[in-house]
C-alpha cells in the first residue's frame, strides 16, 4: 500500500503506519509522523510552521523508532530522502528547483509516479528515486515558478523520460522497441 497526506495521518492514528509499503511525506508531514504526541490528523497544523527541515534525518529516525513510518519513505523537500526501514538509501538534490515546494499537486504527482514504477515491478527504493528525479527534472524543464501549475510540470514528463529513464533505470527503448 502506498500513501500520501491524509492517508499517512490516518495510518499513524490507527497504529498501522508500519504495515504500509511506501509513504511520500514532505518535511512537515514527516514531523507529524515523528511526533509522539501527534495522534490525530488535527495536530498537523502545529507542524506546518514549526518544522526545521534541516532536522529531517532526525525526524525519520524518530518515526521509525516509534513504528510510525512505512517500510519505505520518499521524503520530499529541498533534499529528497529515500529511506528503507530507517536507513537513508539515497538523497536527491539535483536539479535544484526550489519553486517546486510551493506548487500544489507535486506531492500527488510524485506519489502517482512512485505507484506507477512500483506497479511496473521496480524495487520500491528505485521507484522512489526515479520519481523524485523525474519530478525535479520536469520542474526544471517547465521553468517552474511558484505560480506554475502542476499540469505544466506533468506535461514535461514524456521528454524527461525520453532523455533520462534509460540512465536512471536501465529500462531503455529505441524507436523500434525495448533494448
Lowest mean pLDDT among 29-38, 71-80, 145-154: 29-38
Of the chain, the percentage scoring pLDDT greater than 70 comes to: 88
pTM of the model: 0.89
* Rounded Cα gap, residues 158 and 156, in angstroms: 6
Higher pLDDT, 130 or 52: 130
Please report the pLDDT score of residue 110 as a whole number: 94
pLDDT at 39 over 80: no
pLDDT at 5 over 70: yes
The mean pLDDT value of the chain amounts to 89
C-alpha distances in Å from residue 39, one per residue of 28, 52, 62, 78, 89? 15, 20, 14, 27, 28
Taking residues 3-23, what's their average pLDDT?
Answer: 91
Please report the pLDDT score of residue 179 as a whole number: 54
Lowest mean pLDDT among 23-27, 148-152, 175-179: 175-179
* Rounded Cα gap, residues 46 and 66, in angstroms: 20
- Residue among 88, 66, 74, 92 nearest 21 (CA): 74
pLDDT at 108 over 80: yes
Taking residues 94-110, what's their average pLDDT?
Answer: 91
Q: What is the dihedral angle through the alpha carbons of 41, 67, 23, 117, rounded to the nearest 10 degrees? A: -160
CA Rg, the chain, in Å? 16
- How would residue 44 be classed by pLDDT, with cut points 50, 70 and 90? low
Taking residues 12-20, what's their average pLDDT?
Answer: 93
- Residue among 15, 63, 62 nearest 40 (CA): 15
Of the chain, the percentage scoring pLDDT greater than 90 comes to: 67
Q: Side-chain half-sphere of 102: how many Cα atoms within 13 Å?
A: 8
- How would residue 60 be classed by pLDDT, with cut points 50, 70 and 90? very high
- Residue among 128, 136, 112 nearest 169 (CA): 128
Residue ranges of domains in the chain: 2-169
Query: What's domain 2-169's superfamily in CATH?
Result: Ribokinase (3.40.1190.20)
Amino acid at each position: 500500500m502506498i500513501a500520501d497526506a491524509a492517508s499517512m495521518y490516518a495510518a499513524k492514528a490507527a497504529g498501522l503506519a508500519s504495515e504500509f509499503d511506501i509513504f511520500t511525506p514532505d518535511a512537515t508531514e514527516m514531523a507529524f509522523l515523528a511526533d509522539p504526541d501527534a495522534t490525530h490528523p488535527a495536530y498537523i497544523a502545529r507542524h506546518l510552521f514549526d518544522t526545521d527541515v534541516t532536522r529531517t534525518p532526525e525526524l525519520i529516525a524518530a518515526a521509525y523508532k516509534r513504528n510510525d513510518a512505512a517500510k519505505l519513505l520518499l521524503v520530499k523537500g529541498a533534499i529528497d530522502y529515500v529511506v528503507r526501514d530507517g536507513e537513508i538509501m539515497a538523497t536527491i538534490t539535483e536539479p535544484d528547483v526550489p519553486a517546486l515546494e510551493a506548487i500544489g499537486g507535486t506531492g500527488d504527482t510524485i506519489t502517482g509516479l512512485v505507484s506507477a514504477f512500483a506497479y511496473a515491478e521496480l524495487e520500491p527504493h528505485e521507484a522512489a528515486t526515479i520519481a523524485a528525479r523525474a519530478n525535479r527534472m520536469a520542474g526544471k524543464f517547465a521553468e517552474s515558478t511558484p505560480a506554475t501549475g502542476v499540469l505544466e510540470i506533468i506535461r514535461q514528463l514524456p521528454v524527461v523520460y525520453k532523455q533520462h529513464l534509460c540512465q536512471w533505470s536501465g529500462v531503455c527503448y529505441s524507436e523500434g522497441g525495448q533494448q
